[in-house]
A and B are shown apart, each in its own frame.
Chain A
């Protein structure tokens, strides 16, 4: 997953970015509204964390600008003001959720995961494409009752493919959403991870959960199962 963090307090920004990276996110960060808006317009991302009080361009103006351009990136606003007037103004401007400072990083991560799931049409923290299931909170994955032993990057690839189950995901999109700027973006690496994932998910090659579409990308073929439905 790729996140964009727009926060002018550099220490807080460092902590948020650090926590997101620790959770396996690729992160871009900006310390003012202008630069943040540029990142949101130019780089793909799965979630944006925007502080409301920003220099140059306020958080509300940034959100307004991207919504006017038709972007539906999930936006979590950070605000030091806890009054409902400020929360409603932020949500009216196009934000999807708010977090009042100071906050616990567990809560921030939980809300970010909800926003990402919601944007992909999932309502539960447990993503199920039977028989494969993924718990986005504990970051554990299963095939039926068998727990998979995935590396952090294999988990990231599987989570992204399952969140977008049924959709064709190109190698470029996968790379952009999973790698940091400075990281190696050689598309061969993706192929290696896909091959390993296939082996771990489907050692007997009965399900073939990840389909390769020549020249187009990959598709997670197992059907979504909504919890409680």
Chain B
């Protein structure tokens, strides 16, 4: 707004100055033409030694009308007025000396009136062909010029002020109209803060709709997260009660002096698994749709490089059949968790050969397969492993929670997961990803 007004004012200033300068140049050119017409009317005087201007050869009537505002004077080399127009009724000040052939244009004030004065120095041969110097000077009353210029300025600035005022009103109205949806957004945010509503409910113009839709996704994610934290805390508290009851029983027993270390250790392990599982579940982004895309191939490369280090003495041969990149809309940490757990299992249980391959499924999704040449698992065992997360208080010693965490994450992202017997003899895990 301020920029626009400043631009308009600057434009008006430039316009005003340009018009003023053009008018001044036009005035100077008109006076130059008048001097040329005076020179056309030059005659020798009777003695032939000097020159004069024949009044009957002048076309400009204003020079003949008394006090017309246009005056002409011819000076000789001695600065004597050898001819003056009939319009002159008062003495006019002398001019400064200028070189022959030069023009001198000035705007000046004399007797409280503004004048344009144009002087031109010439050389004219006398009867003896000696060059004599003369100055032709024109005085023009500039009152009308400045009056017109003032009128132009007045008109210009009046219209400018009117235009700016109109523009301000229009802009204010447009802004009020266009910001109305944002005002509505503000009101809805206040309502969400006050827990009167759970998300943005109004229909918004298409410019703002993506913002409110994304905010709704974010809000829903936050609400899910909060709900998950609540559930996790609830699950944690409940599932810790069983091992705590056992420990409490141990401390109450008569033989507490000889606490059964094996039972103690089992219960501590169980509590550790419960806490680990709930922590992993709580820290997952769980189906975040606004995560930036991750490259599955890069994640697989990072995990394989890390596992190569951990299982170096096993010298696992990893065979990969992957495209250069597979871009997924998934939280990087969740993707690392899924691939890390599956590949860790493959490395751990393989006899030394793991195959990772990807192909396009008929539905257009990417099918990632991780296979190993280990013992493999029976369908019943797989079901038990996947259900570990749901009944944590039934976890027994030695059971990992990796696959249960993977199952939770893939479910939240609607990623298909299937287990099969690998052609290598061990377990084969298939994941169906939606690519970006």
Contact = CB atoms under 8 A, between A and B. Distances in A.
A92 B302 contact: yes
A141 to B, nearest CB: 21
A123 B309 contact: no
A14 interface: no
A144 to B, nearest CB: 26
Nearest to A94: B309
9 contacts: A82-B279, A83-B280, A83-B336, A84-B303, A84-B333, A87-B340, A88-B302, A114-B313, A124-B313
A91 B336 contact: no
A43 B340 CA distance: 35
A24 B366 CA distance: 52
Given A91-B306, A92-B302, A92-B306, A85 B336 contact: yes
A102 interface: yes
A215 to B, nearest CB: 36
Given A88-B302, A88-B303, A82 B280 contact: yes
B306 A85 contact: no
A176 interface: no
Contacts of B248: none
B341 A83 contact: no
A84 B272 contact: no
A92 B340 CA distance: 14
B337 A123 contact: no
Interface in A45-59: none
Interface residues of A, number: 18
A83 B309 contact: no
Contacts of B309: 91, 96-97
B303 to A, nearest CB: 6
Nearest to B341: A84
B306 to A, nearest CB: 4
Contact of A91 (B268, B310, B313): B310
Contacts of B336: 83-85, 88
Nearest to A114: B313
B212 to A, nearest CB: 32
A98 B306 CA distance: 10
A216 interface: no
A97 B313 contact: no
A103 to B, nearest CB: 9
Contacts of A117: 313
